[in-house]
Amino acid sequence: MKLKDKVIIITGASSGIGKAMAYEFAARGANLVLGARQYVTLCEIAQDIEKQHHVKALAVQCDVSVEQDCRALIKQTHLTFGRIDVLINNAGISMRALFKDVDLQVLKSLMDVNFWGTVYCTKYALPEIVKTKGSIVGVSSIAGYKGLPGRTGYSASKYAMNGFLDALRLENFNTGVHIMVACPGFTSSNIRNTALNKHGNQQGESTLEEDKMMTSEEVAKTIADGLENRERTLIMTFQGKLTVFLNKFLPAFLDKQVYKVFAKEKQPLLK
């Protein structure tokens, strides 16, 4: 499936991987609907994309944790373009706090955005995507395969997303709908800067070495290629592939290695 002239919805499109995907898909000729809470930023991105790539780009203010916002995002897409070919469930937030210390509202917020945001958007987009035999993508994480310390809510939300999309794939086995789970490794983006601490405030500074990570642009290109090839699952780094493998066959060994990695981060939560 080539992306030229396809209508693609991207949630969380105002920054990071979502913004990078918008530019990558536009470069391949797709028309875009960009959803996020930051409406002014979205409008600037949409205008720049239209100018650079001569495709249509629509900005829609949307908080994916609000069901009616998700319904409105899908409705506006259909009213504008008359079809939906691809839904990219990308909007997400992270956290950094030990479970024993964290306010439970933090976990609820992560589930509302990362899991329920995916469910809401998919619910309203699915009938249109069935018509086009299009694609539904969840931008998940290796944290959806291996629980990470200090990220209990994040891992839970990504496990939930993975399970939801896996079940949905089987329900649509004969409809022609393509469902893909994309799992970047650690990616240099603002998700760690906006990660919630134990009180639910943004931590403001990444505790990991951003310069050694994949870039958002690399992730976007991999997802675009995966869409065109209608891949099932994208595990994007060697570290990620190794983690999935070890979690299947040597889970206790992997526990020790993950603990060591997170014990070495800046201002470690693990002592």
Structural domains of the chain sorted by starting position, each given as residue range(s) with its CATH number in brackets: 7-240 (3.40.50.720)
DSSP H or E run through 59:
strand 57-61
Residue-level pLDDT at 210: 56
The pLDDT of residue 188 is above 70: no
The mean of the pLDDT values for the chain is 95
Instruction: Indicate the DSSP class of residue 111.
Output: I
> Which one is predicted more confidently, 185 or 117?
117
- Whole-structure pTM value: 0.95
Q: Round to whole Å and give the CA distance between 220 and 139.
A: 10
Q: What is the mean pLDDT of residues 161-182?
A: 98
Q: What is the mean pLDDT of residues 133-146?
A: 97
| Cα torsion angle, 149, 208, 102, 240, sign | negative
Token pair, residue 4, equals 């030229």
Q: What is the pLDDT of residues 21-69, one digit of tens each?
A: 999 999 999 999 999 999 999 999 999 999 999 999 999 999 999 999 9
Q: What is the mean pLDDT of residues 82-99?
A: 97
Q: How confident is the model at residue 207 (pLDDT cuts 50, 70, 90)?
A: low
Q: φ, ψ for residue 53 (rounded to 5)?
A: -115, -5
Residue-level pLDDT at 213: 77
Q: What is the mean pLDDT of residues 101-116?
A: 98
The pLDDT of residue 221 is above 70: yes
Report how many helices (DSSP H) and strands (DSSP E) the chain contains, helices first: 9, 9
Instruction: Indicate the DSSP class of residue 267.
Output: S
Active-site residue set: 154
**DSSP for 7-47, written as a single string:** EEEEESTTSHHHHHHHHHHHHTT-EEEEEES-HHHHHHHHH
